[in-house]
Amino acid sequence: MDELRHIEDDLEYTARIIMAVEASGPVGLSKKQANALAFIEGFIDDRGYSPTFEEISHGLGLSSRSGAHRVVQQLIERGAVRRMAGRAQTIVIVKNGDVSTAHKNSEVA
C-alpha cells in the first residue's frame, strides 16, 4: 500500500485500501487460493463430494498435482478448508468455523 502514501486525504486513502482488499478476494487469501477455494466449493456443490488433487490441478490449469496439493495445504493453514483423517477425496470447506460439505458428519482432522 506504499503506492497510496502520496494521498493526503485520509478518507480517500482508506477507500482505496478497502477497494484493493476487496479486489483481492477473501481476506488473507491470494488470488490463486481464492480461485482454488471457489473451484472446490463449486465441485462439492455440483457433485456432493470433494475433488481429487488431479481434478483440482486440471480445474485450476496447474501443471501438476503437487501444485494443487500446495494450494490446498495453504488453504488448510489459513483455516479455509480441512481434510478428513484417514479418508481420500475428503476436503471440507470451513465457513464461520463450521465444516460445510456432504461429509460433515464424519470425523475431521
Helix axes 53-60, 65-77, angle to 10 degrees: 100
Taking only the tens place, the pLDDT of each residue in 17-33 is 666 655 544 557 888 99
What number is the average pLDDT over the span 75-93? Answer: 86
**Region at 7 (left for phi over 0; alpha for psi -120 to 50; beta for the rest):** beta
Whole-model pTM: value is 0.65
Per-residue pLDDT tens over the stretch 52-61: 999 999 999 9
User: Looking at residue 18, what is its pLDDT?
Assistant: 65
- Please, what are the domains in the chain? 29-100 (1.10.10.10)
Name the percent of the chain lying above pLDDT 70. 62
